[in-house]
Structure 1
Amino acid sequence: MTDAQRAAEREIRAARARSNAAIARRDPDASVAEMAPDALVIASSGALVPNRAAMRDAFAHAFAETGFISFVRTPERLEISANAETAAEEGRWRSLWEPAAAGRERSGPYLARWTCRDGRWAIQSEVFIPV
């Protein structure tokens, strides 16, 4: 792995940690700060979230739900391109609402594509698969 790839991995992991922390604080603006404006998300429901603004609204809606507890993405593997301009992140996600016994806990694998634009890493797309 090159120095640029190692630096990219550190930056992406830090960005993911910031995003998870923002979700834990229920801050919809900070929750999407690591996303490109034109980022695409396929939610665990299969719904397409077409951009960062729509994802911000989805987070705001979830945070307003009385039973919302958490949503966390845990990276398990990062693969950085040779030119350190794009990266694939694989991991596990988990969401939880109260009461969990009512089927409000979901989890599964996810895949995120990161791109580096103007020296800044941003999420370009994410897919969440419930299993």
Structure 2
Amino acid sequence: MIRFSLRACAVLVAVTGFAMHSLPALAGPTEDHPPIVNDFAPATVSGVGGISLANLAGVLNYCVDVNLVSHQDGDAVQTAINAKTGATPPDQRGNVDYAVGTAGQFIVGGTTSTLTRLEAADQGKICSAVLTRAKSSI
């Protein structure tokens, strides 16, 4: 014979009722939110001349990472410019300009521009200019 405890049933109903009503609230609102998009202006080839060497090193890293500059062409230049600028110090503190560059962004005169919103062909033109400037800077 199975016995049911009224007290146990009341606790079970209370717990499941609480869980059913509180879990959606814990998960947050269910409405759709638009994706976060940066507001930065698109980068231009002319902007390459105005970025710091550490930012240039970061952008070169981005270009190699997304295969717009080959490892064969970019790695040695990347290593040399990193050594010259100290953009990637061994103490893991890093350089903000370098970090911004690795995200595909320029900082020119306090204004940030981005490569990421450009078509691949336009990104390729900028990456070619970045490689040329990096080679001339080492």
Bin the TM-score by the shorter chain. under 0.3
Structure with bigger strand share is 1
Normalised TM-score (structure 1): 0.26
Structure with bigger helix share is 2
Structure showing greater Rg: 2
